[in-house]
Chains A and B, each alone.
Chain A
Amino acid sequence: MLADLAGVVFNGLFSAMVVFIFASGLTLLFGVLRILNFSQGGFFAVGAYLAFSLTRLLGPALPLWRFLAIAVVAGVVVGALGIVTERLVLRRLRQVDGAYSLIATYALLLLVEGIVKLIWGVDVRSMEPPAELSGVWQVGDVFMPTYALFILAAGLALFVALEWLLHHSRLGKLMQSVATDPWMASVLGVDVARMQTWIVVGGFFLAGIAGGLLVPNQALSPSLAGTFVIQAFGALIVGGMGSVRGTFMAAILLCVADSLASTYLPGVPGVFFYITMAALLLLRPQGLMRGAQL
């Protein structure tokens, strides 16, 4: 029973890190630029497909370092797409009402999904994790896939890195200043437009690298991002709209609750994510970290 519980919590934490890795770029974009980027899921899929194709291209063996390098390449390519997207779309959304940017980024999602279909087709594909991550660890009676452990570590590392970047580095202080008062930042001599472009690049890089890291053990299809997007938006909202710390905690709370409920109430799988979300929003309508910076 106890081992069961540990396994269930482990599964919850794994889902939480998947959601957090996906939602990190979303959080950055919303936290700094106040853009709710629906198309994040499409660019995540681009990253995943790129990683899939690169892996195929480079031959059957997939050592861990190559898997990581491919994820970074996917991140860089999607980051570069971020520059284009910022110039063509996001920059024009700065002065308009949030509803318009939702519609525009949703349209962008459809466009990107269409392009993915044109390039990679509609067949469902799949890819194995690298050999080093294919095993299973056993601690007591709990079985933990190495790949899940890796994602857990990657999510935690990403969280620590973003927290440090945003709260302890000079760049982070600058990003927070641009987020809280872009007008004053520009009056003080900060090139706010360039800063905003780089933040978009960062958010898109995170989407691409998430695609590369999360592609193994997924059914790779053009609408891959669908489920992630909803859960990631849930974590973003419960976390307090744009706080990395909040998104991280919300992802854990929601996914662990969902994992527990799905195990002990197997009649209604997948519903408890949303029930927990509704409950947390009733308790804290402002989100977990409202008022905190990023």
Chain B
Amino acid sequence: MLEVGPLDAFYGDSHVVQSASLHVAAGEGVALLGRNGAGKTTLLKSIMNAGPTVRGPVRCDGAELGAMPADRRARLGFALVPEDRRIYPHLTVQENLAMGRHGARPGVPPRSTDEVVEMFPLLKQLQARRGFELSGGQQQMLAIARAVVARPRLLLLDEPTEGLAPVIVEQLVAQIQAIQAGETLALLVAEQSIWFARACTSRLYLLDSGRVVFGGTWAAFDADPGLKRYLAL
């Protein structure tokens, strides 16, 4: 479904991602692991074409996306949940969810608010709250809920568990698995939490200093203890 690279990404003069290649099949869950600053966020934003200067191909179903802007990629079925969540503070939960409808693919009606709230019951009581009144965990739920409103085909999650209580992380895993059971949703998760990544994905890539240093199954990752050095602080 998604084929990337070899791709280079830059912020000004700094060469953040260096000839990285990866692919994600339809409905597949793939993790992107690496230390802080390894280039995970930049790589996710490059796939969305939202920020970094990108050189190298990003393909969706075999078609090169070229310079296609982020909003059109959203309407192609890509959804990015950024690390800082970016909930609109002045909008209510309902209105934040409604913003997600702009990414609906042509001919695919977006999910209704009721439907989304059913999937993320935590949001039920909060619908009239404004973004700035939410806790970190609630904001993360809302950010993911807002991203799935448009029924994306590829969900790019950037550090979704950062700062969340363990019980919330468990709920998040269950919700993501429930969505994937319902429809074909590919997942690319950038994470520091190996536990969460393992629970949501079947394969992983390791990123170190902007380069992909490993790609394979979790079993292959476990079989090579030397790889852990790419994650150690």
Instruction: Please determine whether A191 and B71 come into contact, CB atoms closer than 8 angstroms.
Output: yes
Asked if A188 and B82 sit within 8 Å, CB to CB, the answer is no
Which of chain A's residues has its CB closest to B85's CB? A184
Asked if A189 meets B71 with Cβ closer than 8 Å, knowing A173-B95, A183-B50, A184-B82, the reply is yes
Q: Which of A174, A177, A187, A293 has the most CB of B within 10 A?
A: A187
- Determine whether B55 belongs to the interface, using a CB cutoff of 8 Å to chain A: no
What's the Cα separation between A174 and B146 when bound, in Å?
15
The 10 A-B residue pairs with the shortest CB-CB distance, nearest first, are: A189-B103, A189-B74, A189-B102, A184-B86, A186-B70, A186-B71, A190-B102, A191-B71, A293-B90, A189-B75
Q: CB-CB < 8 A to B82: which residues of A?
A: 184, 187
With the chains together, A173 CA to B88 CA distance in Å? Answer: 10
Q: A180-B89, A185-B102, A188-B146 are in contact. List 9 more A-B contacts (CB 8 A).
A: A173-B98, A176-B88, A176-B90, A177-B99, A180-B88, A180-B90, A187-B70, A189-B74, A191-B72
26 contacts between A and B (CB under 8 A): A170-B98, A173-B91, A177-B88, A177-B91, A180-B89, A183-B86, A185-B102, A186-B50, A186-B69, A186-B71, A187-B48, A187-B50, A187-B80, A187-B82, A187-B86, A188-B99, A188-B100, A188-B103, A188-B146, A189-B74, A189-B75, A189-B103, A190-B71, A191-B71, A191-B72, A293-B90
Distance between Cα atoms of A191 and B146 in the complex (Å):
17
Does B206 have its Cβ within 8 Å of any Cβ on chain A? no
Query: Which residue of the partner chain B has the closest CB to A291?
Result: B90
Closest to A181 in B: B86
Contacting residues, chain A, for B200 (C-beta < 8 A) = none
In the docked arrangement, what's the CA distance between A180 and B132, Å? 13
Residues of B within 8 A of A (CB): 48, 50-51, 69-72, 74-75, 80, 82, 86, 88-91, 95, 98-100, 102-104, 146, 150
Residues of B within 8 A of A154 (CB): none
CA distance A293 to B89 in the complex (A): 11
Give every chain B residue within 8 A of A188 (Cβ-Cβ). Answer: 71, 74, 99-100, 102-103, 146, 150
Shortest CB-to-CB span from A188 to chain B, Å, is: 5
Contacts of A184 in B (CB 8 A): 82, 86, 88
In the complex, which residue of chain B has the Cβ closest to the Cβ of A191?
A: B71
Query: Closest CB of chain A to B221's CB: distance in Å?
Result: 30
Contact A189 B104, beta carbon cutoff 8 Å: yes
- Find out whether the CB atom of A183 lies under 8 angstroms from the CB atom of B102: no
Q: Which B residues lie within 8 Å of A187 (CB)?
A: 48, 50, 70-71, 74, 80, 82, 86
Contacts of B146 in A (CB 8 A): 188
Majority DSSP secondary structure for residues of A touching B: helix
- Over the window 183-212 of chain A, the binary record of Cβ atoms lying under 8 Å from chain B Cβ atoms (1 yes, 0 no) is 111111111110000000000000000000
With a cutoff of 8 Å between Cβ atoms, the chain B residues found around residue A176 in the complex are: 88, 90-91
The reply to whether A181 and B71 form a contact with Cβ atoms under 8 Å apart is: no
Q: Within 8 Å CB of A193, what residues of B?
A: 69
**Residues of chain A whose beta carbon lies under 8 Å from any beta carbon of chain B:** 170, 173-174, 176-177, 180-181, 183-193, 293
Chain B residues with CB under 8 Å of A186's CB are 50, 69-71, 74
Determine if A183 and B103 form an interchain contact, defined as CB atoms under 8 angstroms apart.
Answer: no
Bound complex: CA of A183 vs CA of B74, how far in Å? 12
CA distance A56 to B106 in the complex (A): 50
Within 8 Å CB of A174, what residues of B?
Answer: 99
Shortest distance between the CB of A68 and any CB in chain B (Å): 35
Q: Which residues of B contact A190 (CB under 8 A)?
A: 71, 99, 102
Residues on A with C-beta less than 8 A from B74 are: 186-189
A192 to B102, CA, bound (A): 11
B89 CB → nearest A CB, Å: 7
B142 to chain A, nearest CB (A): 12
Residue of A nearest to B102 (CB): A189
**B80's closest neighbor in chain A, by CB?**
A187
Closest partner residue, chain B, to A292 (CB atom): B90
Residues of B within 8 A of A183 (CB): 50-51, 86
Whether A181 and B75, one on each chain, are in contact in the complex, defined by CB atoms closer than 8 angstroms, is no
- Chain A's nearest CB lies how many Å from the CB of B155? 12
The CA of A192 and the CA of B72, in the complex, are separated in Å by 11
Given A177-B88, A177-B99, A189 and B48 touching (CB < 8 A)? no
B70: which A residues are within 8 A, CB to CB?
186-187
Chain B residue, CB-CB nearest to A195: B71
Report yes or no: B150 in contact with A189, Cβ–Cβ below 8 A: yes
Chain B residues whose CB sits within 8 angstroms of the CB of A185 once the complex forms? 71, 99, 102
What is the minimal beta-carbon distance from B82 to any residue of chain A, in angstroms? 7
**Alpha-carbon separation in the docked complex, A174 to B100 (Å):** 11
